[in-house]
Amino acid sequence: MTTIRNARFVVGCREFLIFAPKIVRPDMVYEVHVTVNRKFYSNIVVTALLSSDGNEYASGRVLFHDVATKVIQLKVDSQTSYIVLELRV
């Protein structure tokens, strides 16, 4: 479960907010919470990617038809060693 203590705001503005944990461990399901507050286009696709040095470790996407909050779940493989991963949304 993501709490305020072990999570951080990755990106936030009046149109959207992205909330994700700071720590990713091997064999863990990583949840990225995305809230769209305003829509200027009919459909919005949000893609999340965990990578390091050009190698992709997990990715997922979600489609927004309306203003809502959705969760993108990323499964980090158990073979992944303890490295610094970069989250791109």
pLDDT digits (tens, 9 = 90+) for 4-26: 444 454 555 677 888 888 877 77
Torsion of CA 61, 10, 3, 34, to 10 degrees: -30
Q: Is residue 11 part of a domain?
A: yes
Residue 84 included in any domain? no
- Domain membership of residue 3 (yes or no) is yes
What does the pLDDT read at residue 87?
75
The answer to whether residue 89 sits within a structural domain is no
Domain-located, residue 27: no
In this prediction, residue 71 has a pLDDT band, given cuts at 50, 70 and 90, of very high
Identify the domain containing residue 45 by its residue range: 1-22+33-74
Whether 58 is covered by a domain: the verdict is: yes
DSSP 59: E
Residue 64 CB contacts under 8 Å (≥ 6 apart), including other chains: 34, 36, 39, 43, 44, 45, 46, 70
Residue 51 lies in a domain: yes
Residue 88 covered by a domain = no
Query: Judging by beta carbons within 10 Å of its beta carbon (0-12, 13-18, 19+), is residue 6 exposed, middle or buried?
Result: exposed
Structural domains counted in the chain: 1
